[in-house]
């Protein structure tokens, strides 16, 4: 069996799991969470998305996989622990999934099916989404924006998007890639890059999430800069959906 053949079966065999990693504001209040896919393989054990999302992208399986993730994330939003609150749920959307014909229609179907509030959803996309497809990207994003869905640029600063594209895209948030966060407290070059990203975000009126915050020194550095959300092992690791919901019950 190849991983590809097994991945085709993984949804039907109920082997995929939704993990959830919270995002906090500067006052340690939880404001949102990112859902992250994991594959509980019967023989290989827990497989991280880095090992199978690229295969899903290449084979087109990402469309079905992406639908599954979105349906589960929307289902989670309607659970009592989340339904009444204001927490945002961020879902990763890959380029092939985004540009697949009928993406907007399927998002509408999943919203209708689950009853989730689209105004609580953020789609995380990467800069590669735009390559050769500016008009299509803007059009699709605008349709989803009209439903209330926000867009966040994931891994910001590591791709090839120009600032001209950034200005034209109807996005609401930038996620600072963890490679910049890592050494920002000690490396003046990384500190300058973080400040540059924060300046772009401020000028374009975008929210900011710092990802991969692992140390107090990184958090302290960021706290002196600008208001933003913090996501990383320092605060919480990605955890199974049920323990995330239990965390919300404990907090209330
Ligand atoms: O959890 P890990 O570090 O292995 O994640 C690796 C990559 O997989 C990240 O870039 C993340 O965006 C991506 N990823 C995680 N979950 C999903 C998902 O549900 N859909 C897509 N398209 N990518 C995902
Ligand atoms: O590319 P994307 O941002 O979607 O991927 C998020 C990935 O980063 C997830 O796989 C998650 O497990 C991982 N992650 C989250 N917080 C941290 C952290 O503090 N340190 C590291 N090294 N990885 C993290
Ligand atoms: Mn992400
Ligand atoms: Na990222």
- Burial class (CB within 10 angstroms; exposed 0-12, middle 13-18, buried 19+) of 130: buried
Nearest to 68 by CA among 129, 148, 122, 12: 12
Nearest ligand 2 atom, CA 233: 19
The DSSP secondary structure of 194-214, one letter per residue, reads: HHHHHHHHHHTT-EEEEE---
Find the 135 Cα to ligand 2 centroid distance in Å.
30
**Ligand 1 pocket check for 36: Cβ under 6 Å:** yes
Protein residues within 5 Å, CB atom, of ion ligand 3 = 92, 124, 154
Question: Which of 16-20, 117-121, 132-136, 217-221 shows the lowest per-residue confidence on average (mean pLDDT)?
Answer: 132-136
1 pLDDT higher than 70: no
**Ligand 2 pocket check for 214: Cβ under 6 Å:** yes
Find the 175 Cα to ligand 2 centroid distance in Å.
11
224 pLDDT higher than 70: yes
Interface pTM, i.e. ipTM: 0.95
Find the 170 Cα to ligand 2 centroid distance in Å.
25
pLDDT tens column, 87-101: 999 999 999 999 999
pLDDT tens column, 229-249: 999 999 999 999 999 999 999
Interval 183-195 mean pLDDT: 97
16 pLDDT higher than 90: yes
Q: So what's the pLDDT on residue 89?
A: 98
**Ligand 1 pocket check for 126: Cβ under 6 Å:** no
Cα separation, 157 vs 145, in Å, equals 23
162 versus 137: the higher-pLDDT residue is 137
Length of the chain: 252
- Burial class (CB within 10 angstroms; exposed 0-12, middle 13-18, buried 19+) of 188: exposed
Atom 16 (ligand 2) nearest CA: 232
Find the 153 Cα to ligand 3 centroid distance in Å.
9
**Ligand 1 pocket check for 92: Cβ under 6 Å:** yes
Q: So what's the pLDDT on residue 162?
A: 75
DSSP character for 42? T
User: What proportions of the chain, in percent to the nearest 5, are helix, strand and coil?
Assistant: 50, 20, 30
Find the 1 Cα to ligand 4 centroid distance in Å.
30
Cα separation, 143 vs 218, in Å, equals 37
**Ligand 1 pocket check for 50: Cβ under 6 Å:** yes
Cα separation, 235 vs 213, in Å, equals 8
CATH, domain range 3-251: 3.20.20.450
**Ligand 2 pocket check for 32: Cβ under 6 Å:** no
Residue 191 contacts by C-beta under 8 Å, 6 or more apart in sequence? 184, 185, 221
Interval 117-139 mean pLDDT: 94
Nearest to 71 by CA among 103, 116, 36, 34: 116
pLDDT tens column, 33-71: 999 999 999 999 999 999 999 999 999 999 999 999 999
Residue 42 contacts by C-beta under 8 Å, 6 or more apart in sequence? 13, 15
Find the 221 Cα to ligand 3 centroid distance in Å.
22
Nearest to 241 by CA among 10, 19, 90: 19
In this prediction, what percent of the chain has a pLDDT beyond 70?
99
């Amino acid at each position: 069996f190849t991983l590809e053949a097994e991945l085709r079966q993984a949804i039907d065999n109920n082997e995929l799991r939704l993990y959830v990693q919270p995002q906090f504001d500067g006052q340690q209040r939880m404001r949102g969470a990112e859902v992250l896919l994991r594959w509980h393989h019967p023989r290989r054990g827990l497989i991280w998305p880095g090992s199978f999302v690229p295969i899903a992208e290449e084979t087109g399986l990402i469309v079905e996989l992406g639908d599954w993730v979105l349906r589960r994330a929307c289902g989670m939003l309607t659970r009592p622990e989340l339904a009444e609150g204001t927490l945002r749920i961020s879902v990763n959307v890959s380029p092939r999934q985004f540009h697949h014909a009928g993406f907007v229609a399927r998002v509408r179907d999943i919203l209708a099916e689950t009853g989730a509030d689209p105004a609580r959803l953020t789609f995380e996309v990467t800069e590669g989404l735009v390559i050769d497809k500016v008009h299509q990207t803007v059009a699709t994003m605008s349709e989803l924006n009209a439903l209330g869905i926000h867009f966040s640029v994931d891994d910001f600063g590591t791709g090839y998007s120009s600032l001209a594209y950034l200005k034209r895209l109807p996005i609401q948030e930038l996620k600072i890639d963890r490679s910049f966060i890592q050494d920002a407290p000690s490396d003046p070059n990384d500190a300058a890059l973080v400040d540059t990203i924060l300046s772009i975000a401020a000028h374009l009126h975008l929210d900011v999430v710092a990802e991969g915050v692992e140390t107090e020194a990184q958090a302290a550095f960021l706290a002196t800069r600008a208001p933003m959300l913090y996501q990383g092992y320092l605060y919480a690791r990605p955890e199974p959906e049920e323990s995330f919901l239990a965390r919300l019950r404990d907090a209330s």
